[in-house]
Chains A and B, each alone.
Chain A
Amino acid sequence: MAQQGGSSSSGGSRILSGGSINVSPMKPLASLKVLVVDDEPMIRTIHKAQLVRAGINDVEVAANGKDAVDLHVNGATFDLILMDLHMPIMDGCQATKKLRAMGVKSSIVGVTSSGGAEKTAFLASGLDDCVSKPFVLQQIAHYLKVPRSPTNPPKYHNP
């Protein structure tokens, strides 16, 4: 799935390489693990399909922030977490703060149609970035390209 510019004949990476983004993952896309956290089944379905279509086979979903945190408490790790803001039981802000406090270094990208002060607070909770709903894959391509490592720490806003 790794591509260096141009378009791909492989359907899986077509969406990521369809624009001007060159995808050169340090890890192959197929080996990335992504967690989609959103309380709406429809949104989880769409995001998962987008990621699978891009060639990411390991996509887990969680229906709220608490479930996302519990996955990590039980030992799960992810390369990228896509986090909704407004969710019951535990919202995206609280979940992100909790995950960072637990030492989770995964890229966490907020996905929300909120703006203004809400979005600022969400970013400050420990996100690497925040994109609008619905997102297009090019918006998160960077986080699929460059997984976190000790030499590539997260750029989140509240270290």
Chain B
Amino acid sequence: MDVLSQLRHQLADYTNSLHRDGFLDDQFSQLQQLQDESSPDFAMEVVSLFFEDCQKLVTNMARALELQAVDFKQVDSSVHQLKGSSSSVGAARIKNLCVAFKTCCDSQNRDGCMRCLQEVNRECVLLKNKLQTLFRLEQQIISAGGSIPM
């Protein structure tokens, strides 16, 4: 098997594993389909915006949960935003965490919210690393003279 075929095989396996393990859902595939010659890095750009959003929201939620009197409506609003963003990029595990997080906000369970926030933070870091690996594989294919199947 030549280098290009090996890389393509690796990319396909890796992408399938991300879907299989629940990190990504079909929405991510939809994003990749929006890539074309005029915007070859579309998915990467959107993902980058997503993680910027994530960081801001996690920081806001952490600050809100540190206060003596927690404003659970504010935390809920951030959770709602994160759920929308994660749905839009196909970040399935983060989206699902937001469901549990919302329940903790609704019941004004501060400890529950703190645990959910830690989970969200962990999943964001995990997904960011995995997507960096995926995009690196794509770049390797392009550098080897291949193209990414859309």
Interface residues in chain A, defined as those with a beta carbon under 8 Å from any beta carbon in chain B: 11, 15, 40-43, 45-46, 49-50, 53, 86, 112-114, 133-134, 136
Report, nearest first, the 9 A-B pairs whose CB atoms are least far apart: A42-B49, A134-B88, A49-B34, A113-B84, A133-B84, A42-B50, A41-B49, A134-B87, A53-B34
Pairwise interchain contact B88-A114, C-beta atoms closer than 8 A: no
Q: A86-B81, A134-B30 are in contact. List 15 more A-B contacts (CB 8 A).
A: A11-B36, A40-B81, A41-B49, A42-B50, A42-B53, A43-B84, A46-B34, A49-B42, A50-B34, A53-B34, A113-B80, A133-B87, A134-B27, A134-B87, A136-B30
Asked whether any CB of chain A lies closer than 8 Å to the CB of B83, the reply is: yes
C-alpha spacing A22/B46, complex, angstroms? 30
Of A11, A15, A46, A86, the contact of B80 (CB 8 Å cutoff)? A86
Asked whether any CB of chain A lies closer than 8 Å to the CB of B45, the reply is: yes
Pairwise interchain contact B49-A45, C-beta atoms closer than 8 A: yes
User: Which residues of chain B have C-beta atoms less than 8 A from A134's C-beta?
Assistant: 27, 30, 87-88
C-alpha spacing A41/B50, complex, angstroms? 9
User: Which residues of chain B have C-beta atoms less than 8 A from A46's C-beta?
Assistant: 31, 34, 46, 88-89
Interface size class of B (residues with CB under 8 A): 20 to 34
Asked whether any CB of chain A lies closer than 8 Å to the CB of B39, the reply is: yes
Asked whether any CB of chain A lies closer than 8 Å to the CB of B77, the reply is: yes
Within 8 A of A (CB), among B65-88: 77, 80-81, 83-85, 87-88
Within 8 A of A (CB), among B8-43: 27, 30-31, 33-34, 36, 39, 42
Mind listing 11 A-B residue pairs with CB under 8 Å? A15-B33, A41-B49, A42-B49, A42-B50, A42-B85, A43-B88, A46-B89, A49-B39, A86-B80, A86-B81, A113-B83
User: Which residues of chain B have C-beta atoms less than 8 A from A86's C-beta?
Assistant: 77, 80-81
B16 to chain A, nearest CB (A): 22
C-alpha spacing A18/B142, complex, angstroms? 28
Pairwise interchain contact A40-B42, C-beta atoms closer than 8 A: no
C-alpha spacing A41/B89, complex, angstroms? 13
C-alpha spacing A133/B27, complex, angstroms? 11
C-alpha spacing A53/B35, complex, angstroms? 9
C-alpha spacing A41/B46, complex, angstroms? 9
C-alpha spacing A46/B45, complex, angstroms? 10
B59 to chain A, nearest CB (A): 16
User: Which residues of chain B have C-beta atoms less than 8 A from A15's C-beta?
Assistant: 33
Report if A42-B77 is in contact (Cβ < 8 Å); known contacts: A50-B34, A53-B34: no
